[in-house]
Each structure stands twice: as structure tokens, then as C-alpha cells.
Amino acid sequence: MRLFAVVLATTVAATPLAAQQTIGQPAGNFRLTDVSGKNVSLADYRGRPVVIEWNNPGCPFVQKHYNSGNMQKTQAQARAGGAVWLTVNSSAPGKQGHMTPAEAQAFVASAKATPTNYLLDPKGVVGKGYGAKTTPHLYIVDGTGRLVYQGGIDDKPTSNASDIAGARNHVLAALGEMKAGKPVSVAETRPYGCSVKYAE
């Protein structure tokens, strides 16, 4: 069974995306088209936590988490706990990290990543709508559609993989608190990484 699909195009859904998303408020919906032509939207996953990860395979900070296996481990734990994981690539054509659908499939396979969907956003519609600034930049939407976390994957803003062992994984901590029926204790942190490579 394939654990991911690659999105070819993005369009804004009926609910317009704001310039940024606000903790505690409904997250902006978006609609995407996968390789089979199926429309996929954030609203499709209502009732389940959704993690949204901004990705650029060429970024050293992304490589820190993928080459060490930390991002894949986080994806697997999140999904095992019932969450949906959407990886978004907003790199524009000609920019670092931009990929065709075939290249994105190859990246996911070679990295042994397990997102629910790997989404391509070359026009930056979803990225700009969410105010995604870095790769990686993580967001968590709860089952009611509210944004409950946004920021870095952890509290060690370096590109050094040796820092992962002593880091607090904000994503897994938030998902654990949500599953226990508790509020997310750290709801917003500073994202770190490479700037998202939007079109000029």
C-alpha cells in the first residue's frame, strides 16, 4: 500500500487563507489535486489531528532531520497515534528544493519518509497563506480544525544532527498532550531553517 501521494497543483478553497494563521483559531482550509486527479483538502481530515510540515530537501536544516532519521521517526510516531501528516513543498520553479512529482516521489522513497501526502505548492499559495517562513516549519491542526501549534520541530535551532538527542520535540509533545486531553503547553515557537524559496 502506498503511504503517500504527490500533489500536482494547488488552488485556494472556498475559505480564503489569511496572511498567517492564529493559534486557537480555525486553520485556513486548502484544496490540492493529487496525481490521480483526486481533490484533497485539509477539511477531508476533520476529526483527526493534522501535522503540516514545510519541506525543502536541499536545505541543511531539513537534511539534519531527514539524514538522521528524526523527521521520519516523528512522522511515524505521529501517524501511529492517529494523526495525519502533510508535507508541503513550496519551492518555486528554478529555486532550491523545487521538484517535479516524479522527483518528489523519489525523494520520499529514498528518504523512507511516511507522510500521509507529499504536496507540491510551486506557486506558494498554501505556504504564503499559512505564513510558512522556514524549512522545516511545522503546524498542528486539531480534530476540530483549530490551529494548536506552529513553529520549529524542536528547541535546538541548529543544523547539527548531534543536537537532536537533547532536544524537546515540540510536535510529539503537543500530540501527546492532545491525546491525553490536555491543552498544548507550548503552542508557538520560533521556526528555524532555510527561508521558504517562494517565487519572487
CATH superfamily of the domain spanning 6-15+25-195: Glutaredoxin (3.40.30.10)
Q: What is the mean pLDDT of the chain?
A: 88
Task: Kindly report the pTM of this predicted structure.
Answer: 0.89
Residue 150 pLDDT > 90, yes or no?
A: yes
pLDDT recorded at residue 1: 27
Mean pLDDT of 188-195: 97
pLDDT recorded at residue 14: 31
Query: Where along the chain do its domains lie?
Result: 6-15+25-195
Bigger pLDDT: 1 or 92? 92
pLDDT recorded at residue 155: 98
R_g over Cα of the chain: 15
Mean pLDDT of 161-170: 97
Query: Tens of pLDDT along 29-82?
Result: 998 766 455 677 899 999 999 999 999 999 999 999 999 999 999 999 999 999
pLDDT recorded at residue 105: 87
pLDDT recorded at residue 84: 96
Mean pLDDT of 162-166: 96
Mean pLDDT of 108-125: 92
Query: Tens of pLDDT along 93-107?
Result: 999 999 988 899 899
Residue 17 pLDDT > 60, yes or no?
A: no
The strand pair at 84-89 and 50-54 is best described as parallel
